[in-house]
Copies of this chain bind each other. A is one copy, B any other.
């Protein structure tokens, strides 16, 4: 099962007063800001803090092109939630990320992102172009998964 083997990043988030709106629940754009940070956290986990990643690969970022989110249950200030994030698919110059936010172990928000590996155009530095995701980056996520020797071994055999 490939999806089971995916590297997952878990981040605990304390919901702040300033993240909430007059209905006293998280204002949904703030969830998207959490998830943006969680995607960065995934790359940081494999050894690519965002600033270094941009420098190493000459990209301007990994901007979102597609977003879907379901808000199942509200969260409130002083709640502590956990976000589980994983990259579910690597494509040529884009990739898919899934975030699931749990409040007291109940799925409260689910979000799917498609992001592109993006660089400034050489012809016109004001333009942004998608670039192939470097093989090396994708492999960092696999290598990371393989750190658990028992599991990685059985995975190797399956291949």
Contact = CB atoms under 8 A, between A and B. Distances in A.
A78 B61 contact: no
A33 B32 CA distance: 10
Interface string A24-45: 1101111011001100100010
A82 interface: no
A74 B63 contact: yes
B25 A63 contact: yes
B32 A36 contact: no
Interface in A26-76: 27-30, 32-33, 36-37, 40, 44, 49-52, 60-61, 63-72, 74, 76
A27 B22 CA distance: 10
Contacts of A63: 23, 25, 28, 71, 74
Nearest to A39: B17
A22 B70 contact: no
A102 interface: no
Interface residues on A, range: 35 or more
Interface of A: 14, 16-18, 20-25, 27-30, 32-33, 36-37, 40, 44, 49-52, 60-61, 63-72, 74, 76-78, 118, 128
A38 to B, nearest CB: 10
Contacts of A52: 78
Given A51-B77, A70-B66, A71-B64, A18 B27 contact: yes
B60 A36 contact: no
